[in-house]
Structure 1
Amino acid sequence: MRNTSHRTVAILATVAALTVALAATVRAADDSNGNPLQAQIDHGKSTYAERCSHCHGPNMMNSGTITPDLRAFPDDKTRFITTVKNGKNNRMPPWGDVLSDDDIANLWAFISSRRKP
């Protein structure tokens, strides 16, 4: 009976670990057309509200400041990631040590989903 109990606990722990890994993979994946999944956009929206909105505004624009209208940010993911990680011109602080690569990718998913036509 004792071996069965330990085996059951081990199986449950393995299933739990695999479930967490799968959930993380699904959250970070794009759909078959390369578009961000809604979960990425939602996570990016939350990160934006917490980390970015105080400078860039709650609607991705903050008139009267030097911050750009992020709704008009060029469709340049590499530039976005580099700017977020490294900062820019002593006006935007670097976030590379604060935000994970997934956080930044999710921010991009959110911002690019709100781009003005």
Structure 2
Amino acid sequence: MATASGQDVVPVTVEFTGGLEMLFSNQRKHDIALPAKGEDGNPANVAFLVRYLCKNTMKDHRKDLFVLDDTVRPGILVLINEADWELEGEEQYELQKGDTVLFVSTLHGG
């Protein structure tokens, strides 16, 4: 898949639940045409996806509710194609066409 500019993209579905959707225009599901290569020229991985989401998809200014020190903050479960990202290589997992990445906040007020 390529964009109008000719740049290759990796189509992925990104979903947010557990309250995270409020940071992304109250929309739970986003179909993203992610550039196939990150800023460093390497294949797009989850770390690049997180940066891309913060820059291009997140409308809320409270980025710190999603990321901490440029990584997904503790308390957010990340599933790649319904498997815990720890089983897939976490941020280094190279995204494939058709992947689904789900971010679930497990943080609750009390």
The alignment's TM-score, normalised by the length of structure 2, stands at: 0.30
> Higher RCO, 1 or 2 (CA under 8 Å, sep at least 6)?
2
Q: Which has the higher helix share?
A: 1
- Return the index of the structure with the highest Cα Rg: 1
The alignment's TM-score, normalised by the length of structure 1, stands at: 0.29
